Structure 1
């Protein structure tokens, strides 16, 4: 696992975000084991409590689960949960504003569909 850290967010949050991204992209498939707290803390010289705090956020979200004596594993529903969360965020950040702007421009639903199709044709 490769982590990139910055000064913009707490390290525990960055750990959680990067493991979550690995789950979403399939680096950590469902039911696979993620690196241990000790592995991450040693590899990146981070306090184990900081790593554990990030992992516990993922446990609370239901993305990973602790298996006593074995480690942390990706849940079977983790990718689906992350995908749904990202779709919701996509709607909130982009689609809602897009629709609001379209309404102000007095574009119809058909006009919007035509614009979207035009955008896909340009790919």
Structure 2
């Protein structure tokens, strides 16, 4: 995973990575997810950073810690992750996107065909 040093904190980027895995249904509800150490090795980050991400996701009720067993996606993890990512998108990315649309004279109708084509690729 490539981290953007100019964006949000790395632990939040890792939280977004976990949410993306959930949204893509690679990690379904009630599924066990990688341990802190395993994910840290996979992403090449300090285990404390992954632990901070997992603590954040636990506070959001996206994952849960089953003592002695590991971390799991909550039953409502998909729904909660979707709501979290939607809110983040609306507050942080959409204003910049709209600004660029305005500056470039792009109307929502101009995007419809491209968006439909994009959806077909992922359907």
Closer, same or farther in 2 for the Cα pair 1:6/1:78, shift >3 Å? same
Aligned-CA RMSD value: 2.7
Does the alignment pair 1:27 with 2:26? Answer: yes
Which stretches in structure 1 are left out of the alignment for 5+ residues? 98-114
Closer, same or farther in 2 for the Cα pair 1:42/1:84, shift >3 Å? closer
Q: Residue in 1 aligned with 2:12?
A: 13
Q: CA deviation at 1:43?
A: 2.8
Pairing of 1:29-108 with structure 2 (within 5 A): 29-87=28-86, 93=94
Q: Residue in 1 aligned with 2:103?
A: none
TM-score normalised by the chain length of structure 2: 0.66
The alignment covers a number of residue pairs equal to: 102
Closer, same or farther in 2 for the Cα pair 1:67/1:44, shift >3 Å? same
Which stretches in structure 2 are left out of the alignment for 5+ residues? 99-107, 117-123
Q: CA deviation at 1:87?
A: 5.0
CA deviation vs aligned residue, 1:81-123 (integer Å, no higher than 9, x gap) = 23334555677748xx8xxxxxxxxxxxxxxxxx98xx86884
TM-score normalised by the chain length of structure 1: 0.66
Aligned partner (choices 1, 4, 8) of residue 2 of structure 2: 4
Which one has a bigger Cα radius of gyration?
Answer: 1
